[in-house]
Amino acid sequence: MRVNPLHTALLLTPATVLIMMLLVVPVAIVAVMSLTNWQFGAATLDWVGLANYRELMADPVFQKSISNTLTYLVVVTLGSIAIGLGAALLIESDTQLRTFYRTAFFMPVASTLIAMAVVWQFLLHPSVGLVNQVLELLGMEPRNWLHDRRSALYSLAAIGIWQMSGLALVLFLAGLKSIPQDIRDAGALDGIEHPLDRFRRITWPLLGPTTLFVVTVCAIRSLQVFDTVHVLTKGGPNKATEVLLHTIYSEGFSFLRMGYASAMTVVFIAGIFFLTQLQHLAMERKTHY
């Protein structure tokens, strides 16, 4: 049956218009604003070209936020994958209480992170927090987790792992379900009976597509961290937890420098695109479909 190009174009029109309105047009507006010195609420603006981008390259706060964001991304992505995969393997090996564990691990993903950040603020409190009380019982010295430059960013990363490991768990469980039992039986006939050997030679290679998807999702969500930083640390102490989205927010809505904040946003969007493409190419070579 011959497809009418006009009918195809008409069917694609609603989706095309929606994509243009929600993605292409806002990005284009931000890109144009990044070439101006417009301040929030101002009636006029001046065209400054690439001046905002040149200022970015010499801005120590921007450079610090990039470094903190990448550190957060690596720690949270690796931690979420390790905990999610380990929990998925344990749950898959035990059919009892599987639904309970799946729901319990996924609850942090569905919860409101701002509300949970308040709970974490109490847990990490330097004097009455549960974490420090447990450390004191173990004979260890308590710490001011969110106000110590050495531990603040990693404390936020631990909260990020707590939130995202449940999503990784559910995705890995789906990936484990897709592995045919015939392959596992064939491996057993070939002498692959030890759990570690079975994981290394059968399970892990066949989880390649799932792992690629989990890494991509966790990395993008890690780059978008803002809630916990804004609620718990405001980027402190001394910019130790300043991440890119919080810097963009501060420049745009605290200092009202929308042109400069737009330049940061363009760099942020380009960074997400570059990292996801690089990550996809690197993982694709080791992924078995």
One DSSP character per residue, 165-193 reads HHHHHHHHHHHHHTS-HHHHHHHHHTT--
pLDDT digits (tens, 9 = 90+) for 21-71: 888 899 999 999 999 998 888 888 889 989 999 999 999 999 999 999 999
When pLDDT is cut at 50, 70 and 90, the band that residue 288 belongs to is low
- Is the model's pLDDT at 210 over the cut of 80? yes
Residue 65 contacts residue 229 (beta carbons within 8 Å)? no
- Is the model's pLDDT at 113 over the cut of 80? no
Q: Is 248 helix (H, G, I), strand (E, B) or coil?
A: helix
Beta-carbon contacts of 45 under 8 Å, excluding residues fewer than 6 positions away, are 36, 37, 38, 39, 259
- The pLDDT value recorded for residue 251 is 93
Cα–Cα distance for residue pair 151/161, rounded to 1 Å: 15
Angle (CA) 203 166 146, round 5°: 125
Q: What is the pTM of this model?
A: 0.88
DSSP state of 146: T
The Cα-based distances of 86 to 175, 176, 267 in angstroms read 13, 12, 35
pLDDT digits (tens, 9 = 90+) for 132-145: 999 888 888 888 99
pLDDT digits (tens, 9 = 90+) for 188-201: 767 776 777 778 77
Angle (CA) 245 30 263, round 5°: 55
- Is the model's pLDDT at 235 over the cut of 60? yes
Beta-carbon contacts of 215 under 8 Å, excluding residues fewer than 6 positions away, are 77, 81, 279, 283
Q: Which CATH class is domain 60-284?
A: mainly alpha
